[in-house]
Amino acid sequence: MTTSAALDAGATPESAAGVSAASPPKARPAFGILAAISGSHMINDMMQSLILAMYPILKGEFSLSFAQVGLITLTFQLTASLLQPVVGYFTDRRPQPYSLPLGMMSTLIGLMLLAYAPRYEVVLLAAAFVGIGSSVFHPESSRIARLASGGQHGLAQSVFQVGGNTGTAVGPLLAAAVIVPFGQRSVAWFGLAALLGIVLLLQVSRWYATHHIAPGARKPVVAAAPYPRKVVVGAIAVLLVLIFSKYFYVAGLSSFYTFYLMERFGLTVQGAQLHLFYFLFASAVGTVAGGTVGDRFGRKPVIWFSILGVAPFALLLPHANLFWTTALTVVIGLILSSAFSAILVYAQELMPGKVGMVSGLFFGFAFGMGGLGAAVLGLLADRTSIAFVYQAIAFLPLLGVVAALLPKEARLR
């Protein structure tokens, strides 16, 4: 109601002014969209984790070395990491709502290639197609999660991330239940999940096409950066160091975990994949906690605790028996996974108006460090042993101490 309309209705000037000055009602998260984008993330990352879970099968089928196993991860992660910042930068300027189903289509092609790969080079090509799908999916879907957050950015990113982590956790279970008994070509059945993902993303894309700028509205005014450029660049550099610490460690822990358990404790492939599921499922649970706690108490304490807090458990892990190895990896998964949502939202608040570019940069750098870590640590495992790799990476979480260099959050809010 305008001021003049209020006066015509008999209201006093003071009350009419109060009506016009009243702040709009607080937005609520669009939980339906968040659920759809989280479900799509689960499907996307489940199909990615099938590659990880198939490593023992592919190693035997193609007589691969650990370095060649690491190269599969490197191929997937590099195609994802190099393209994501570019995709994010482009879509910041020109949003592409319907790019999401196309990204899932690329992942589907990669999955089909993986199912029928006759030689190692085709496995690498399949990994590249899956990586391209991720490079398209993550920046835009992260932007949609923020748009649908209703101001609860940490919660929205956590809901989005928990879908991905859940998919990553489910992958080894599905591999143990389907791929191990029925062989490499059974991967093709998971194409049905990719088709479901395409349907979900078409619905999300329709919503995004009508909500990224409200009908009739001008382009929203972008808030000024909370700190001078030098401080922002320094803070982004610190966050990237933390991403390196987290994902290099996770690459060593997850890429070779099944081999570590089989070599040290004599587990079967299916038994080792079940233990990998425990670790990945704990990571999914920890993701939710990181975002919600960050919304309430601040991102910096979550970032500090989630990286540095893992260090004592990581240092104990190489010396533990099977029971304590499982227990320690569950604790590590719970704590370490809480970092990414907090880091991503913190970075988005440092660089307002560049959600896609920031999301692409951090997802891409995370994927790149994961791929580089898998390749380097695979080469190290060939020259030494898996046990030595686990001893070496145990010191990486100590880099979490650099979180002390991050600026205070008061100005970000």
Least confident of 16-25, 69-78, 110-119, 165-174: 16-25
Q: Does the pLDDT at position 20 exceed 60?
A: no
Query: What band does 199 get if pLDDT is binned at 50, 70 and 90?
Result: very high
Mean pLDDT of 98-104: 89
Query: What band does 109 get if pLDDT is binned at 50, 70 and 90?
Result: very high
Most confident of 139-153, 182-196, 368-382: 182-196
User: Among positive and negative, which fits the CA dihedral 344, 350, 356, 357?
Assistant: negative
Mean pLDDT of 368-376: 78
- Does the predicted TM-score (pTM) go above 0.75? no
Q: Does the pLDDT at position 289 exceed 80?
A: no
DSSP H helical segments within 54-119, as ranges?
55-62, 66-93, 99-115
Distance CA 318, CA 211 (A): 50
Tell me what pLDDT residue 314 has: 93
Q: Does the pLDDT at position 131 exceed 70?
A: yes
Cβ atoms of 72 and 151 within 8 Å: the answer is no
Q: Does the pLDDT at position 291 exceed 50?
A: yes
Mean pLDDT of 396-407: 89
Q: Does the pLDDT at position 61 exceed 60?
A: yes
Q: Does the pLDDT at position 320 exceed 50?
A: yes
Cβ atoms of 89 and 360 within 8 Å: the answer is yes
Mean pLDDT of 46-75: 84
Tell me what pLDDT residue 4 has: 40
Tell me what pLDDT residue 26 has: 53
- Which one has a higher pLDDT value, 189 or 360? 189
Residue % of the chain over a pLDDT of 90: 21
Q: Chain-wide mean pLDDT for the chain?
A: 80
Cβ atoms of 338 and 306 within 8 Å: the answer is yes
Query: What band does 12 get if pLDDT is binned at 50, 70 and 90?
Result: very low
- Express each pLDDT in 212-256 by its tens digit: 654 443 444 455 667 888 888 999 999 999 989 888 898 888 878
Least confident of 13-22, 50-59, 218-227: 13-22
Tell me what pLDDT residue 215 has: 41
239 contact partners, CB below 8 Å, separation of at least 6: 303, 343, 346, 347, 362, 406
CA dist 384 → 12, 250, 319 (Å): 83, 19, 17
Q: Does the pLDDT at position 269 exceed 60?
A: yes
Distance CA 328, CA 335 (A): 11
Least confident of 16-30, 145-159, 350-364, 370-384: 16-30
